[in-house]
């Protein structure tokens, strides 16, 4: 037997009606309408979900939020954002500007040296992946030339290219 979402709870109908009428945007309207349909029209959560074309879990979540916090429970922001950043974006860019001055003076910035500087700045160890993402986030890229073998000779390479068979050439 399905549970009744608002059994034993007293809700002010005028407050609920105002919530539905003043909602802005599709998501806000769906949330408030789900509460209205389940309370006023005594619909089951499954029927409300089918009418609004959302999941049953979403309807139960909205009802729970409304029961707990009333109007403010439905006015929530999304789940996005920076949860794992050790520094805020302004601190990151200021730190990288200071490092770029060092790089401009001829010092080579490598990940091990950045890791030490980041540990000093943040106060604990950071992973290489964090540093690579930080550099990518601020538009840094690898500017070093491709590695070459120390014994490679460009003249020998050119003569090989000239004397190689025709089917080797693209």
Residue pLDDT, tens place only, 27-46: 878 888 888 888 778 888 89
- Count of structural domains, the chain: 2
Same domain, 20 and 70: yes
45 touches 55 (CB < 8 A): no
Residue 101 in 3-state DSSP?
Answer: helix
Residues 30 and 69 in one domain: yes
Let me know if residue 147 belongs to a domain.
Answer: no
User: Which of 22, 40, 74 marks a domain boundary?
Assistant: 74
pLDDT score of 116: 92
pLDDT value, residue 37: 85
Q: Pick out the chain residues at pLDDT < 50.
A: none
Q: Which domain holds residue 104?
A: 89-137
Do 67 and 23 reside in the same domain of the chain? yes
Shared-domain flag, residues 45 and 97: no
> What is the per-residue pLDDT for 71?
60
Is residue 162 one of the residues assigned to a domain?
Answer: no
Domain contains 170: no
Query: Do both 68 and 104 map to the same domain?
Result: no
Q: Considering the domain boundaries, does residue 82 fall inside one?
A: no
Does residue 95 sit in the same domain as residue 125? yes
Is the domain of 64 the same as that of 109? no
């Amino acid at each position: 037997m399905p549970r009744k979402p608002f059994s034993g709870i007293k809700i002010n109908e005028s407050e609920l009606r105002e919530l539905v009428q003043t909602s802005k945007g599709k998501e806000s309207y769906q949330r408030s309408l789900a509460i209205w349909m389940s309370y006023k029209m005594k619909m089951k959560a499954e029927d409300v979900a089918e009418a609004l074309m959302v999941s049953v879990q979403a309807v139960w979540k909205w009802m729970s939020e409304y029961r707990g916090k009333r109007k403010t429970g439905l006015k929530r922001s999304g789940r996005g954002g920076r949860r794992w950043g050790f520094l805020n974006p302004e601190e990151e860019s200021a730190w990288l500007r200071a490092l770029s001055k060092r790089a401009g003076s001829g010092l080579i910035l490598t990940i091990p040296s950045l890791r030490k500087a980041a540990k000093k700045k943040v106060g604990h160890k950071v992973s290489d992946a964090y540093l690579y993402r930080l550099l990518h986030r601020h538009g840094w890229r690898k500017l070093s030339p491709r590695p070459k073998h120390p014994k490679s000779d460009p003249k020998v390479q050119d003569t090989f290219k000239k004397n190689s068979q025709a089917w080797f050439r693209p």
